[in-house]
Structure 1
Amino acid sequence: MLELPYFAGLLIQGAATVLVLTAAVFLRQQLTALLLALVTSASLALVALASQTETLVVLCGLIAVFAAASWRLAPVTAPTALVHGAALACAIGAAAGWSPAHTGLLVLVVPVIAALLAWRLGDSRATVPVEVAGAAAAVLAIALAATDLPLLATVLALCGVIAAGTAIRADRRPVGYAAAALFVLAIWVRLAAWDVSTPEAYTLPVTIPALLVGALRHRRDPRTSSWTAYAPGLTATLVPSLFAAWGDPHWTRPLLLGLAALLVTLAGARHHLQAPLLLGGAVLLLDALHELAPYIVQVTDALPRWVPPALVGLLLLALGATYEHRLRDARRMRHFLTSMH
């Protein structure tokens, strides 16, 4: 085998990557040459990890090469360039001695570029692969920031901004749900970072305006889904309060949360709104189970060991004997839920 110097080996692999990528652009056998280009570029990036400087130079070169090839092979080369961009952001953070959380902020540049590029591409075949690469980079940024709660809240909020910007496009309106979820997650993480023991003081000022806006939107357009109109505002308070209630040794918060969830559930059933009915019911059920769990455990311990399996067996027999009736009930319940807004 040839024992080439390290730098010479990098040059040879880099030249091979450029050649096979050029062949993929201009020759008919695009698939084979493109696969070879991807393999050689991945090998080149791995070999370059032995040196910090070479890693930065190689990743910059790979980004430039694959971006240049995107005029012809954008569905593959554009997301590949974004992946190398995320790797470059991580390499820059490591070279600068940044913490993983601060590196995650730099990685967010890739989702921003991906969102802008997807907007520019429009209905191109490359749009979805570019968006997938951007979403993967956003997940990487969130994972890197997971060790620092304040920065994690910032990263989640910025991801929500990116998602909200994407949702402006008419064909990407459903991304707005993800944006709302990211903003709510950012609020929860921020509350956890502040060690807030009374999250309602911070979430209710968000929930009340959100519910008012949702009610106005639903009134103007009755076809608006209740998940769009009311779910963000309800989850902003109900979920943090549920977590706080689970860790609260006193009975006041679980009681108040249970009453609030009951009112939300009844309001959803009264006005045929699916989101309040299901969210309120789920929170009410979880809150009740948490409060009843100690008593259930005591009763279970007091009973003979054969009683719980026997009760489970009787329940299964009862369900089997009334299977058709239960199936009709499930169908009626499904029809009732799907008929709601």
Structure 2
Amino acid sequence: MKLVDEAEIQVTAGDGGNGCIGFRREKFIPLGGPDGGDGGEGGSVWLLADENLNTLVDFRHQKTFRARRGENGMGRQMYGKAGDDLTITVPVGTVVTNVETDEVIGDLTQHGDRLLVAKGGKGGLGNMHFKSSINRSPRRALPGLPGEERALKLELKLLADVGLLGFPNAGKSTFIRAVSAATPKVADYPFTTLYPNLGVVSVEAHRSFVIADIPGLIEGAADGAGLGAQFLRHLQRTRLLLHLVDIAPMEGGVEGVNPAEQVRAIERELEKHDPELLAKPRWLVLNKADLLLEEEQQAAAQAIVDELGWKDRWYLVSAIGRENTWPIMKDVMAFFDSLKEAAQEAANEAAYRAGE
């Protein structure tokens, strides 16, 4: 699925209704007191997280949103009707920032999360509030206050369990095709992936996880180079990173590139963008083994692992032929199960200690 993951919108809450100047006028009561009612409050603007949405593309067509104003107060102490709130639905995982202050207003991470982004104006007071012992017929009322107005930046951070990272043409799109039902564009040239892609990996019945393929990174990505910089944030919510590397770049990619140095270059970009990304669990996936002779594959993979001093899990695969890709998915599922068990044990221990 293609994603539009950034948008800017303008939201304006409704103004409060004006207070009313009115006096009681009934038969046999020609000089009744003030009875002007208050104006209604303006409608507020809310954002609502909806799990059925996965893109911000709708905000490329509509960028301004305005809630209704409150109605003016009326005589006989009748309050104006409050303006209806405006609710804007956004995908789960949307981060909302005030454009003017660069302040993060909220992060909608769960289905049904609501965030107030512009509060409606308060209704003005009617003249019945200004009656006093020395002014029995006040001709004063207050206008409603204006509603808040904000320019908002919406950023979608994918809520994927697994993130794929690597240089352009490392085979990430081919890999996600091999293990899920996602069908990203695949071609033999860099930057084939221009949008993040999501795929659901079903390991067993009712047991699945979401994997995300982002555009390839290059050196300087954290500083804005290439296409990957704006998508690095999608990796922040993942629980596991799969680092794909072209094991034979001379045959399948850029001549003279050392695969181990490619790994180090990506690590530098991760650390520069967010050190916590580099601290995430990360498994090495040496791809395109089919480009080497069978008797050379294991030795080439071991040489890269040794040069890196890699201590975590690593795999040798051929994504295009779907060779050895499925064992990785089973290991990923087992890894998530272990995380769940550890979290449950920690919760049980915390509950036990709380009861002591």
| TM score, norm. by length of structure 1 | 0.26
Higher helix proportion: 1
Higher relative contact order (CA 8 A, sep 6+): 2
Larger radius of gyration: 2
| TM score, norm. by length of structure 2 | 0.25
Higher strand proportion: 2
